Amino acid sequence: MTFPAELAKMYVDRAGQPYQPSNGTEGEVFWSEWCRKCSRDSAMRADADLDDCDDNEQCEILDASFRGEAKEWLFGTDGQPICTAFHEFGTPEPFRCPATTDMFGDAS
């Protein structure tokens, strides 16, 4: 989701803090920017019907967002809301979690 620049400036001091859409329209804009482009949820990308999806094809983060528990939805350093677990659909899955420290040099 992209806030207008003047609005995002108001949220720069919230960098790293949880983001929760304030209403359904804002939530839909966030989903369009992040969830509908992410490999974590087939139904959000509209390439599968929700009823036909296995548990591993549904994003637990999206489910948590409806309970106000999406820890991965944060304000970025620029004041824009982000999903820290986003993985663009169609790109190769990382071999190693990017949050894991590389103890052996440039090993992937």
What pLDDT score was predicted for residue 46?
Answer: 65
What pLDDT score was predicted for residue 63?
Answer: 83
Provide the mean pLDDT of the chain.
81
pTM as predicted: 0.72
pLDDT in tens, 24-65: 899 888 988 898 888 877 676 665 555 555 555 668 898 898
CB 77 within 8 A of CB 15: yes
Range of the domain at 72: 5-83
Inside any domain, residue 100: no
The count of structural domains within the chain is 1
Inside any domain, residue 73: yes
Above pLDDT 70, what percent of the chain?
A: 74
Torsion angle, CA of 83/87/90/92, rounded to 10 degrees? 170
